[in-house]
Each structure stands twice: as structure tokens, then as C-alpha cells.
Chain A
Amino acid sequence: MGRAWKFGHDIDTDAIIPARYMNRSEPEYLAAHCMEDADISFAGSVKNGDIIVAGKNFGCGSSREHAPIAIKAAGVKAVIAESYARIFYRNALNIGMPILECPEAVAGIEAGDEVEVDLVSGRIENKTKKASFQARPFPPFMQELINAGGLIPYVKEKTKNA
């Protein structure tokens, strides 16, 4: 269970991890600057297991994989958004950063609410407001990628069998 951090629509990758920090790529370094231009207090106060809740088109802009890496390394358990920009969506799945699409949950969760997420079933529970939501299931191919633990283990397995 974790606290919800709430953000608006079109949170871009520059807000998630500004380019001024992209001269380095160590996950801990990126985590220390995660969400800096959207909420300067985030990196200092986020706790392991917290959840990011955001509006539409989360992760738009640059293709930098540093964005989901920063969120994951900051200890965020999952991102719940109304929708995702496509490169961010792909990158998050590829590196094993759990993301859920659920506009109902976004509407039903406020900043600071205690939220529990079951990543296997996609069940989202707002403990504070006593409400639960069901995230959209992943298409089968993407579920296969997630089950493999990301793209690199998936490709490794495939090239081994080839």
C-alpha cells in the first residue's frame, strides 16, 4: 500500500526527468531528480511503494528511457494514468515499470489517498475512500513481455531458442 501523488494531463518526460540531468544515467541519480519540474518536493518525500496518479498522455515528449527508470528507482510501485504517450508506454513495459490505464481510478483518487494495487489482476483499491477500480487489461503480446520480465529477458529467451 502506498500514498498517491497526483499530477495533471500531458506530464512530459522533461517534467519527469529534466534533460539537464541526462548527462548521467545511473538510476539513483535520476531518481533524486524525478518529477522535479512538476513537483519539486516529490523526490525528497516519495516513499517506497507510493503511486503516481496522472491524467491523459502521461510521458509525452522525448523518448528518454531515463523517465521510467527515474520513476522506478524512486520507489514508485505503479503509475496509474488516463492514458500514456506511446514511447513512454513501451519503455515502461520494456524495463518492467508497472503502468496501469484506468481513467475511473484517476477520477476516484486524490493526492495523499492510501492506494493498493494488485499488478497481476489490475485491481486498484482506494483504501482512504473505500472504492475500487479495474484497470484495462494489457493486450496478450504485451502481457507476454511483462511476464518475461521486460524486453531484454524476452529477447534473450527468444535468441536462445532460435
Chain B
Amino acid sequence: MGMTISEKILAAHAGLDKVVPGEIINAKLDIVHANDVTGPVAIKEFEKLGIEQVFDKEKITLVPDHFTPNKDIPSAEQSKVMKEFARKMNIKHYWEVGRVGIEHCLLPEQGVVLPGDLIIGADSHTCTYGALGAFATGVGSTDCAAGMATGEAWFRVPESLKFVFHGTKFQPWVSGKDLILYVIGKIGVDGARYKAMEFAGEGIHCLSMDNRLTICNMAIEAGAKTGIIEPDEITLEYVKPRAKREYKVYKSDPDAVYEKIYEFNSEEIPLQVAFPHLPENTKSVDEASGLKIDQVVIGSCTNGRLEDLEVTAKILKGKKIHPEIRCLVFPGTQEILLEAMRRGWIETMIEAGAAVSTPTCGPCLGGHMGILAKGERALSTTNRNFVGRMGHPQSEVYLCNPAVAAASAVRGEIVHPREVMNNG
């Protein structure tokens, strides 16, 4: 009986030849990650252990991205705790504002997380790195503290669910975001609770890394422990120029065991919109058409990458944001922002009337830089539409891909991109 990619990575890091779902293992970690919200709590727990050093100063990543640039005095204090800890421990992977980006855009871009890695991160969207063929999972601050101290963590080996997408043809404007929203709509927000979601098939392997990162990013929205994709040529093309250390490519055995296999025809998946207040409340964009909105947010760890900005600029080119709409764009990293600027996309967005920000998680979690008032409605490329997620408990968030978001910003209501594009 073979093993899945997830089981192989876990077994290798636990020093075992084989693991089976349900087994509890202790495994060595390649990266332990935290941000400015979870980091300070982890540091407080770390200090309770009474040890002087982290297990490896090159294997810890501290990314101040949630409330940065610091929004107020308490958040500035939190960032300061992390900065001082990074200095004291001589942490290699720490970035200041001006170099920092949104964690799950930044770490893959900088080649810090690599195929075959076992990663824990004190942020639920840590599962994003599964797009590289790593086993990466979100944990809380205490697990993160123990990981920083020992370089190890305990895991219950998860059952794997396989999601196979047949066919490389998609409906116009459909992206990775639509595939993952469609899956969450099918299985529900606890449909993959405690499980590994493995995405496979030619419909996945024809996708760019930006699209794959979006898909794995939202595995947590189905309750999964991780989302993962076997590395292929596209993965290695992305990884090779970035990697500064050795990495290992794992693939699932042909006779690996899956708890369940879901199969989809890529071409049948329409553009998705997730209605409040759960990501599973998905409908096709045509069913959402005509819904009035107040704010559009494009960016985040889900959709703040170069291709997301490319499609946004493509739609906004020569058009104007609707007079009653605030359209906010949050590029994932400084490198992405700079490249989008060089290609003229930022100019296009600003000419259209969009506000373009420095990278931050800000509005996605209702932190800062785009909070909703009572009764306001946002259409957003972010990952969650829970009650009060982006501001007032009586505001609403609808989730979609960047093309739908940009087109709707122009129209002032939710609309299919074909409605604002002359040729398509």
C-alpha cells in the first residue's frame, strides 16, 4: 500500500519509513512561522520555557504584516515585541516595513519555503505553501512557541482527500479562486476538517503558481489541515531561481490511499461568488449579478499576486471605477508592487480611480485600511466573509476572483466581467 505526498513528507520528518492516517507522530520542522498578531503571544509562551535560544535562527520566519504599517499604539507595541525578539535571537528571516509583504505571498516569493518542507505557521493560511509541494499547516501561538524552542511538533497524520480536475479548458475569466470556492461550496466549511486536501489532475497542473497558491491558501476554509499539490515542471521553474537551500520533491504513490476522491470537469465550473457569512455559500456570478456594493478589495494572501494585478489592470484599462465605489488594491509584496508598477498596471489602476496600498493584511481581517460601516457591502478577493470580518458586525463581505471584483468596481454592482469588456 502506497503513501500520499502528505504521508511521505510527514514520515520523512518523523524518521519513519511509513505513517498511516490517525497515527500521532513527532516530526522535525523546516520552518516555524509567526506574524505580528500571533508572534507576540508565541514569544510570551516561548519565554515561559526559560531557554536562551531558538532551535535554529535560520528556520524561523517573523513577518509583521497584519496591522502594519502600525495602525495604532497597541499594534506598534506588538510589532516592537517581535522586532526585539528577532534581533535578540538573531532571526534571519525578519522583514521591516518597506521590505515586508503579506506573509503567504512573501515566503514563497523569497524562496524561504520549499518543496518537501514540513512547516508550521501561527496563521491559518499557512496551508498556502502546499502549492509548492510542502506540508504546511496553521497552528496557534503556543504550538509555534514550542516549535521555535524544539524544532519539532506533534501531528496526527491526516486522512487525504483527492480533488481531481479533468480538462485544461476553463470558462472565460475563471481562475484558481473559482476552483477552490467551488470545492468549498460542494463540501462545506468543515468538509475537509482535519484532512489533507490534495489537488490533482491536468486542470491543476496546467495552472500557474499564482493560481495554485490561491487554491491551497483556502484549504483551511474547508477546515483542512493542509492543501497540497505535487510539484511539477511549473513548480520547479518557480522554485529553482529562488531556493537558497536543498529541497526534495515528493509525489503520491499510484496506490496511495485516499479517504475520498472528488472529480470535477474543469470546463463546468462557473465564476464563483461566496455570499455572507460563510465561504461555502457559493453561487455562480450570474446568480449574484446586480447586487449593489460599496467597496471592492483586491489583494491579500489569497489574491495579491502578480497575475491577480494583471487581470485587474486588464479590466480597468481605459475605464473608471463607478463614482459610488471605493476600490482598494493591496499587492502582496514590494516585489509584486514594483513589477506591477514597471508594467504600467499600477498607473492603469490609479487612472481608473482605485486606491493602491503598500502590502498589508489590513482590510481582509477588518484590521485597518478599509473598514466597513454598518450596512455596507464589500466584494472582495480575500478569503473569509464571516460576520464582522471586514468591519461592522452588520456589514457584508462577498468573495470572488480579481476579474469579477475589478469588473464589479467599474459597474458599481456585482457583474460578470464580460459585461464590462467589449470583446469578451
Contact = CB atoms under 8 A, between A and B. Distances in A.
Interface of A: 10, 12, 14-15, 18-20, 22-25, 36-38, 56-57, 60-66, 68-69, 83, 85-87, 90-91, 94-95, 139, 141, 150-152, 155-156, 158-159
Interface residues of B, number: 54
B365 A159 contact: no
A71 B258 CA distance: 36
Interface string B64-76: 0011000110110
B154 A10 contact: no
Contact of A159 (B48, B49, B78, B223): B49
Contact of B366 (A18, A63, A85): A18
B41 A25 contact: yes
B71 A23 contact: yes
Contacts of A94: 140, 142-143
Nearest to A142: B24
A60 B192 CA distance: 12
A85 B142 contact: no
B24 A139 contact: yes
29 contacts: A10-B190, A10-B278, A12-B386, A15-B387, A20-B371, A22-B67, A23-B72, A23-B367, A36-B393, A37-B387, A57-B223, A61-B124, A62-B124, A63-B38, A65-B41, A69-B41, A85-B193, A86-B193, A87-B138, A87-B140, A91-B142, A94-B142, A139-B24, A141-B24, A151-B143, A155-B149, A156-B48, A158-B150, A159-B150
A60 B145 CA distance: 21
A20 B193 CA distance: 27
Contacts of B371: 20
Contacts of A69: 41
Contact of B387 (A14, A25, A85): A14
Interface string B125-150: 01000000000001111110110011
Interface string B256-288: 000000000000000000000010000000000
Nearest to B280: A10
Contacts of A38: 387
Contacts, number: 142
Contacts of B59: none
B204 to A, nearest CB: 24
A69 B41 CA distance: 11
B45 interface: yes
B123 interface: yes
Contacts of B138: 63, 87
B40 interface: yes
B94 interface: no
B160 to A, nearest CB: 15
A1 B153 CA distance: 36
A32 to B, nearest CB: 14
Contact of B384 (A14, A37, A151, A159): A14
A159 B190 CA distance: 36
A37 B388 contact: yes
A19 B38 contact: no
A23 B75 CA distance: 5
Contact of B393 (A24, A37, A85): A37
